[in-house]
Amino acid sequence: MIIQYFWRNCDFWGRESEVEPIDGFWIEATKKEAESLIFPRFKPAEIVKSRELADQLKGLAKELGHPLRLFCFLVSRDFQIIKPMEGHYPFGNLWNGYSPFEWMEEIEISRLEDVLNIALPAKKDKEGMDPPATIRNARL
């Protein structure tokens, strides 16, 4: 599984829980990784949703640079909240250029618990948060 985006003090955890803002990580996984490391934590409906979102992502995933990583999740730093998400969520048009996600050098993790120890990059001005042009162009 890889992480290239994070949401500092994410407050998108929903009203179903009374969670204070906590760092969120954008995790992209292969089918095998999702099935073995994430789906065991899900209810059946969440697995179905994740599979549907992955099917929708097939065409876009190649353009995003990770054609085998069709399963995308927003995961809280304490990995207590895991949301299956659309693959374009961190950089899609819905943000009108103001995405709360920040880019970081790619990190590969082998288990969700690894997010506990990820040090976030120092906060920079908005311009400093953009990924290198090659990554930014591949993801648009």
Domain ranges of the chain: 2-139
Using CB atoms within 10 A of its CB, is residue 47 exposed (0-12), middle (13-18) or buried (19+)? middle
This prediction's pTM: 0.83
Q: What is the pLDDT of residues 18-60, one digit of tens each?
A: 678 999 999 999 999 999 999 999 999 999 999 999 988 777 6
